[in-house]
A and B are shown apart, each in its own frame.
Chain A
């Protein structure tokens, strides 16, 4: 077949095809579009409305203006406990996770034998990370008579009630999150593979040491990937629910130190059925997550390096 024949028909029937393309296009995306409107858009609009009511699933609703927000910010101490717990968790767990992910990715960015096996081992905790089984396991590991206390008992130390102590309980959850650095690790690894080896070779000739190479070459070239991981992990961190729900048995104990925002929202919405209040909480969460993402995006121009900038 000649070239002319291949190029011919795509251009020609443009006018008649335009209308048809619209029909076919919307036909193909209709499953998503319909589901989005029914299960995404309408619930969001309703949720926004509910935020200004005292809706209770059995008692119905009254419009109460900004009362939910007033209660949240000025009266509800547990609300602030949950904010404090979540912020502490995100601020510590997300950077830890990313540092581990980058460190291990750099270790595994080599052509040595056995790397595929190591990669699988480091990723394994993340594969099962969201499961109830692992959360249950974690609870048993840090239980009063659990593995950790058994191990420190071998060294003659007195056992600690990890999950019952207000200073320690949240650290078990932070550790659980830090342990699951597999996904950002694989994304970092893919990013590291993109960095041309010649850069390191010429840096070596110039006498650069490992630390200089990291801060002058590896990290700057990796900033787009760091940025992406940071945004995704921040969002995921704020929405952490299952692990806290299982490990504290849905209580947020001790003293609300593990009462994550999503957990408190669940308790208000589905335990006491204060769904208006819970909706207001959800919208505050949405605004905060959106603001944070916007801040990360806005500051990204200062520290994220994109290759296309070179030409400017």
Chain B
């Protein structure tokens, strides 16, 4: 809207000649200043809580109360990090990070590779029932997981898999509907000629997948991997259900226990450990922003 109004003021030529003095609010530089002033202020307000969290994690135990709203502490201290890292019950955050990286790393690897394989099947092989199963898969996107988690829990409990990573990782061998859908869309955009040429050269469907399609899937796979990592890193419900022993806790679970209002009162350390848990997320966000934005814009992935 902003820029089109801008347009109208300039493209009507008679205005300039009959009214040489444009009102100051409509002058281009004025609009630019107003735009940047307004948008920048709103943007800062948006990220203020996050900056505040990082800032507070660097405040000393007094300053956290006396200088509560400040983003930059008067006196930067890293004590909160060393105190927080000690964790609880003689288990340090080293263990929690190790568990989280196992869950998010292995989980992402399984999810994305399975999704790519399945997506190829849906996108390029014409088999009986293809549309039916694709429709079923899209329907599962809208399904509340609550209708599945209870029997899943009973099943994994019967298998004696509580307090193992199997219930967290095994279901990922089937990929994830969001990513399958996204990669299917991507493969459909790859021209068929290469497939056909490979077919002439005696390449089967499996060969075409590995030699022709997979190398071209890089952007889609990166996007899927980023989102999969995010969702797994931030996942709370699954670890909450299946990991009861603290030495198996992921960072999310550990943060919850660590920040329990009835026990912990060291806010600085809570802020420090919370900030730290966001670092992997932000590093990926900054490095791969382009993939993220395109991934959401083109497929409507939720963030």
Contact residues of A with B, CB < 8 Å? 5-6, 9-10, 21-22, 24-29, 31-36, 38-40, 42-44, 46-48, 50, 57, 104, 106-112, 114, 117-134, 136-141, 145, 147, 150-151, 154, 179-180, 182-183, 186-187, 189-190, 197, 200-201, 204, 210, 213-214, 218, 228-229, 232, 235-236, 238-239, 241-242, 245-246, 249, 262, 265-266, 269-270, 275, 278-279, 281-283, 285-286, 289-290, 293
Contact = CB atoms under 8 A, between A and B. Distances in A.
B301 A183 contact: yes
Given A31-B118, A32-B174, A186-B297, 9 more contacts: A26-B121, A36-B140, A43-B151, A57-B154, A125-B49, A130-B236, A154-B69, A270-B241, A285-B147
Contacts of B199: 9-10
Interface residues of B, number: 108
A133 B150 contact: no
A124 B209 CA distance: 36
Nearest to B4: A200
Contact of A112 (B32, B197, B237): B32
Given A31-B118, A126-B303, A6 B196 contact: yes
Contacts of A239: 144-146
B259 A21 contact: no
A44 B126 contact: no
Contacts of A204: 4, 7-8, 11
24 contacts: A21-B127, A29-B118, A32-B180, A38-B171, A40-B143, A44-B151, A46-B154, A112-B32, A123-B292, A124-B47, A124-B285, A128-B50, A129-B303, A131-B278, A132-B252, A133-B255, A133-B277, A147-B52, A187-B300, A242-B236, A275-B154, A279-B151, A282-B146, A285-B144
B200 interface: yes
Interface string B85-105: 000000000000000000000
B68 interface: yes
Contact of B277 (A109, A132, A140, A278): A132
B23 interface: no
B114 A46 contact: no
A140 B270 contact: yes
Contacts of A130: 230-231, 234, 236
Nearest to A6: B196
A25 B209 CA distance: 12
Contacts of B69: 147, 150-151, 154
A139 B261 CA distance: 10
Given A197-B4, A286-B143, A10 B157 contact: no
A269 B150 contact: yes
A26 B133 CA distance: 10
Contacts of B32: 112
Interface stretch (B13-21, B36-44, B74-82): B36-44
Interface of B: 1-5, 7-8, 11, 32, 35-36, 38-40, 42-44, 46-47, 49-50, 52-53, 65, 68-69, 114, 117-118, 120-122, 125-128, 130, 133, 136-137, 140, 142-155, 157, 170-171, 173-175, 177, 180, 193, 196-197, 199-200, 204-206, 209, 230-231, 233-234, 236-237, 241, 251-253, 255-256, 259-262, 267, 270-271, 274-275, 277-278, 281-282, 285, 289, 292-293, 296-298, 300-303
Q: A-side binding surface: helix, strand, loop or mixed? A: helix
Contacts of A147: 52, 68-69
A224 B197 CA distance: 38
B175 A118 contact: no
Contacts of A10: 196, 199
Nearest to B277: A133
A5 B196 CA distance: 10
Contacts of A138: 49
Nearest to A107: B39
A43 B155 contact: yes
A210 B1 contact: yes
Contacts of B143: 40, 44, 286
Q: Which of A133, A180, A245, A269 has the most chain B CB within a 10 Å cutoff?
A: A133
Nearest to B296: A186
B114 A183 contact: no
A96 B153 CA distance: 35
A265 B3 contact: no
A118 B206 CA distance: 44
A32 B175 contact: yes
A120 B243 CA distance: 34
B125 A249 contact: no
Nearest to A288: B144
